[in-house]
């Protein structure tokens, strides 16, 4: 089981075509999902944040508009937190609605 779970609403799914990077290396086609996450601040106020994750499954196409929980990892980069979907737990699951 993952230590971190990203909860939010799936907004978009897209496939990035194969391309070459700056060094000329081939990058294969990749799938991405955009999730609108709700971050509760220390003050109790909410801040919405769009998180784009590279994913291994196109199941997210069917989940657009639904709340999901996705097992993720995180790291700090240039003063912000970056998230990535875990490879060993590629399937998202529907999250309980927060009302």
Distance linking the first and last C-alpha atoms of the chain: 26
- pLDDT over threshold 70, residue 62: yes
Task: Look up the domain containing 52 and give its range.
Answer: 4-19+26-94
Query: What is the number of H-type helices and E-type strands within the chain?
Result: 0, 8
In a domain, 15, yes or no: yes
pLDDT of amino acid 21? 87
pLDDT of amino acid 92? 78
What is the domain-level CATH number for residue 10?
A: 2.40.50.140
In a domain, 53, yes or no: yes
Number of domains making up the chain: 1
In a domain, 42, yes or no: yes
Residue with tokens 């784009």: 52
Tens of pLDDT along 42-57?
A: 999 999 999 999 999 9
Tens of pLDDT along 1-32?
A: 678 999 999 999 999 999 998 898 999 999 99
In a domain, 99, yes or no: no
φ, ψ for residue 80, nearest 5 deg: -130, 165
Q: What is the mean pLDDT of the chain?
A: 90
């Amino acid at each position: 089981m993952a230590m971190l779970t990203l909860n939010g609403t799936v907004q978009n799914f897209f496939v990035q075509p194969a391309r070459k990077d700056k060094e000329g290396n081939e990058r294969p086609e990749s799938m991405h999902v955009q999730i609108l996450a709700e971050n509760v601040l220390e003050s109790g106020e909410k801040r919405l944040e769009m998180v784009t994750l590279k994913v291994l499954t196109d199941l997210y196409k069917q989940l657009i508009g639904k709340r999901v929980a996705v097992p993720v990892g995180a790291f700090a980069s240039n003063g912000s937190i970056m998230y990535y979907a875990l490879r060993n737990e590629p399937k998202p699951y529907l999250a309980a609605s927060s009302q």
